[in-house]
């Protein structure tokens, strides 16, 4: 059985939220006419802070954090090297986004009350919009590649519970679910009803998919002795049942009720769902590490 890997749990979950936010901003930006600039600015900032925290957390996993830069050395076969590369590229792309969001803000604050908006400025604004769509897109793709690489680290022949498509799907679903929910919380009134609805539907979809996937995954685990050990660990762990309740069942019910009853006070409910889902994913990630059983030497002593 594995250990309680706080640095890795924080790194992966925070990193996935960070990239999820960017992904959602990109999605909103493409799908609907206009992404609110304030939301863009806030989203980019929060995403960056989370990303930085994630990278910082990852250092605590290392015996020698001061030498972390060396982890780029083995791109030819190490997914960890690739992960770090993609995360660094993501961070570079984020810096560009951040610069862009600051720039945009300056224009906006100067805008009202001053000179009327000219066609040239409108054209420039549109140009800007297209630009941040590109920036969001690049950051999202790099981030998703980073997350996929993170997941590929755990695809180890030695660990049957991980040696499958599971880790990649889990990590991507965390990105989708928490990215959407955190964006909902950040967006609040800045989001259009349609946007809100889409994000809620997306969250619900991710939750359902996550649950279904877990059932399939669980039934797959029985294929090996170590997989069975992982499964038994999960089913016997109270944490798993808390995770199921907090991370799947509660969000599922709440999301359905929010979507069904538009008259409900959404702000508090969305915040509740988000907190529950974050807790669920953190527990889920902890269990991911805890339940990992490697193929090992079985001897008396």
Partner 1 sequence: MKLSRRKFLGGTAAAVSSLSLFSFNLLTNSSSVEAADPTSKTMKTFRNVCPRNCYDTCGTISYVQDGILKKVEGDPKHGYTNGKLCLKGYAYPRRIYSPDRIKYPMKQSPRGSGNWTRISWDEAMDTVAKKILDLKKRYGSTLPICLDTYSGNMGIVHYGIQGTMSSLGYTTRTVGTPCWPAGIDAQTYDFGTLYNNDPEDMVNAKYLILWGQNAAWTAIHSIPFINKARERGVKLVVIDPIVTSTASKADLYVQINPSTDGALALGMARYIIDNNWVDWEYARANSVGFDEWVDYIKKSVTLDWASEKTGVPKDIIMEIARDYATAKPASMWVGYGMQRHTNGGQNVRIIDALGVMTGNVGKSGGGVNYGHLETWGFNYNTMANLAPKGSKGFISPDGKEGDRNININNFAHDASAQNDPPVKMLWLACRNSASQNPDTHAIEKMFASMEFVVTVDSFFTKTVEMSDLVLPATTHFEDWDVMASYWHYWVGINQRAINPLYESKSDVEIAIELSKKMNTLEPGSCTFPTSGTPEEWLAKEFNPAILQMLGIKDYKELIDGPRKANMPSASWSDGKFRTPSKKIEIHSELAEKNGLPALPIWVEEMKTPEKYPIRFMTPHPQHAIHSQFQNLDWMMTTNPEPKVEIHPVLAAKYGINEGNMVKVYNDLGSITVKAHLTRTTSTNVIVSYETWYKNSNFNVNYTLKATPSDMGKQATGNDGLAFHDNFVMIEKA
Partner 2 sequence: MTKQLGFLHNSEKCVGCRGCEMACKNEYQIEATPQWRKVFQLREDDFSLPTRMFFSMACNHCANPECLRVCPVEAYTKRDDGIVIHDPNRCIGCRLCTMACPYDRPQFNPAKKKVEKCNLCYQRIDNGEKPACVAACIPGALELVEINASLDQKTGVLKTLPGLPSPKITTPSIRFIGPLQGQQIRRD
Q: Which residues, including other chains, have CB under 8 Å from residue 266's CB and lie 6 or more apart?
A: 196, 258
Q: Give the whole-angstrom CA distance, residue 58 versus residue 54.
A: 6
State the minimum distance, in angstroms, from the CB of residue 4 to partner 2.
14
Nearest to 256 by CA among 211, 205, 213: 205
CB nearer to partner 2: pick between 63 and 113? 63
Picked from partner 1, partner 2, none, the partner binding residue 74 (CB below 5 to 8 A depending on kind) is partner 2
CB nearer to partner 2: pick between 207 and 293? 293
Show the CA angle centred on residue 261, arms to residues 260 and 264, nearest 5°. 145
x-or-dash string of contact with partner 2, 97-136, rule CB under 8 A: ----------------------------------------
Chain centroid to Cα 157, Å, comes to: 26
- Quick check: 263 binds partner 2 (CB under 8 A)? no
Picked from partner 2, partner 1, none, the partner binding residue 56 (CB below 5 to 8 A depending on kind) is partner 1
- Quick check: 139 binds partner 2 (CB under 8 A)? no
Say if CB 286 and CB 233 are below 8 A apart: no
CB nearer to partner 1: pick between 43 and 166? 43
Neighbours of 115 (CB within 10 A): 8
| Residues in touch with partner 1 (CB under 8 A) | 56, 59-60, 63-66, 300-301
* Count of residues interacting with partner 2 (CB under 8 A): 32
Neighbours of 190 (CB within 10 A): 15
CB nearer to partner 1: pick between 49 and 253? 49
- Quick check: 249 binds partner 2 (CB under 8 A)? no
**Cα dihedral sign for 16, 21, 25, 30?**
positive
CB nearer to partner 2: pick between 70 and 126? 70
- In angstroms, the Cα distances linking 185 to 67, 179, 199, 210, 223 are 37, 10, 11, 21, 41
State the minimum distance, in angstroms, from the CB of residue 79 to partner 2.
7
State the minimum distance, in angstroms, from the CB of residue 212 to partner 2.
28
Q: Give the whole-angstrom CA distance, residue 160 versus residue 197.
A: 39
Q: Give the whole-angstrom CA distance, residue 56 versus residue 284.
A: 21
Both tokens of 191, joined, read: 């989001």
State the minimum distance, in angstroms, from the CB of residue 1 to partner 2.
12
CB nearer to partner 2: pick between 68 and 220? 68
- Quick check: 77 binds partner 2 (CB under 8 A)? yes
Say if CB 40 and CB 205 are below 8 A apart: no
Neighbours of 80 (CB within 10 A): 15
CB nearer to partner 2: pick between 23 and 57? 57
Q: Please give the residue ranges that form the binding site for partner 2 (CB under 8 A).
A: 61-65, 67-68, 70-74, 77-81, 84, 153, 156-159, 292, 294-301
């Amino acid at each position: 059985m594995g250990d309680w890997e706080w640095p890795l749990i924080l790194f992966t979950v925070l990193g996935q939220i960070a990239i999820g936010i960017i992904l959602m901003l990109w999605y909103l930006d493409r799908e609907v006419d206009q992404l609110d600039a304030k939301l863009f600015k806030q989203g980019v900032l929060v995403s960056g802070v989370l990303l930085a925290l994630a990278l910082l957390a990852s250092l605590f996993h290392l015996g020698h954090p001061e030498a972390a830069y060396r982890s780029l050395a083995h791109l030819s076969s190490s997914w960890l090297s690739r992960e770090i590369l993609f995360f660094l590229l993501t961070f570079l792309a984020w810096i560009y986004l951040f610069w862009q969001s600051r720039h945009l803000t300056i224009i906006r604050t100067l805008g009202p009350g001053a000179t009327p908006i000219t066609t040239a400025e409108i054209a420039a604004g549109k140009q800007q919009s297209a630009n941040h769509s590109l920036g969001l897109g690049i950051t999202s793709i790099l981030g998703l590649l980073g997350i996929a690489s993170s997941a590929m680290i755990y695809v180890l022949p030695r660990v049957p519970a991980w040696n499958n498509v599971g880790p990649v799907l889990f990590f991507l679903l965390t990105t989708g679910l928490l990215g959407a929910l955190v964006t909902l919380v950040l967006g609040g009134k800045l989001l259009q009803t349609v946007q809100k609805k889409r994000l809620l539907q997306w969250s619900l979809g991710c939750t359902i998919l996550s649950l279904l996937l877990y059932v399939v995954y669980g039934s797959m685990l029985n294929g090996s002795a170590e997989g069975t050990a992982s499964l038994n660990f999960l089913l016997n762990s109270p944490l798993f049942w808390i995770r199921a309740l907090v991370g799947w069942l509660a969000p599922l019910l709440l999301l359905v009720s929010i979507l069904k009853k538009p008259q409900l006070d959404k702000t508090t409910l969305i915040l509740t769902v988000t907190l529950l889902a974050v807790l669920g994913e953190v527990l889920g990630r902890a269990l991911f590490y805890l339940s990992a059983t490697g193929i090992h030497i079985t001897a008396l002593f």
